[in-house]
Chains A and B, each alone.
Chain A
C-alpha cells in the first residue's frame, strides 16, 4: 500500500521569502502521480501542481515548483515570494496510475506567512 509522509506539521515564513514543504512517498508501483493541494480555513482543496512519475522535468506553475527526486521518493513543494494569502494547510497526495483518482493524502503542513 502506498503512503505519503509530511514531516512538518507547521511553519512560519516571512512575506516575500521562499518556503519548501517536504513530502516523501512510498510505493512499489512504478507509475503514479503526485499532487499538491492548498486548503485555506474555508475548507476547499485547491489544486496547485502535478508531477507524473515518468516526467523528466520538475513541474512548475507560477510561484509553485515541485522538486521531484524519484530515487529518494520525495516531491517537495517550493513556494517562491510568499504572500499573506499563501497562509493555509498544504497537502501532498499520490494516485497510482492503475487506480487513478483514488488519492492518498499526507497529514498536511500548516503554513503561516507573516508580514
Chain B
C-alpha cells in the first residue's frame, strides 16, 4: 500500500448536486494531483496542488475546484454535478523533487451521478 488514502470509497449523487472528495497524502509528500478516470479510459489530469496553491490544471471546467491544507491533505469539489462526472476519482501524492519523482496513488473514490 502507498499510504495515500481517499474518502469516501463510493458515492452516489444526483444531477445538480455538489460533492467533496478527500485525499490524505503519503507522509513526507507535499504535492497532490487529482485525476478523473471514466469507465474504460485512462485517467485524465484535473489539477495539482503544491503548498496549498493550485499548480496546474487540466481541461476541466471551473466547477471542479480544490483545496490543499497545511498538512498537505486535499479536497476535490465538484459543483452542479452532471451525468458525465460519473467516474473513479484518483488522487496521487509526491514530493517536488522533480524529474524522476514518482506519484503514488490512492485507492480512488467511485462517484455515480444519477
Q: Do A and B truly interact?
A: yes
Residue of B nearest to A32 (CB): B99
Beyond A33-B99, A33-B100, A103-B33, is A43–B45 a contact (Cβ under 8 Å)?
Answer: no
Q: B33 — which chain A residues lie within 8 A by C-beta?
A: 101-103
User: How many A residues are at the interface, by size bracket?
Assistant: 20 to 34
CB distance B105 to A45 under 8 Å? Answer: yes
CB distance B100 to A102 under 8 Å? Answer: no
CB distance A105 to B102 under 8 Å? Answer: no
CA separation between A43 and B91, bound complex, in Å? 12
Determine if B98 is an interface residue (Cβ-Cβ < 8 Å).
yes
Q: B31 — which chain A residues lie within 8 A by C-beta?
A: 101
Beyond A52-B99, A101-B33, A101-B94, is A44–B45 a contact (Cβ under 8 Å)?
Answer: no
Q: A91 — which chain B residues lie within 8 A by C-beta?
A: 42-43
- Residue of B88, B90, B102 with most partner-chain A CB within 10 A: B102
A60-108: which residues lie under 8 A (CB-CB) from chain B?
A: 91, 93, 97, 99-108
Q: B100 — which chain A residues lie within 8 A by C-beta?
A: 33, 50, 52
CB distance A45 to B42 under 8 Å? Answer: no
CA separation between A6 and B98, bound complex, in Å? 25
List 17 A–B pairs whose Cβ atoms lie within 8 Å, in order of A's numbering.
A4-B42, A37-B105, A42-B107, A43-B90, A43-B108, A44-B2, A45-B92, A47-B103, A91-B43, A97-B99, A100-B101, A101-B33, A101-B48, A101-B94, A102-B56, A103-B45, A108-B41
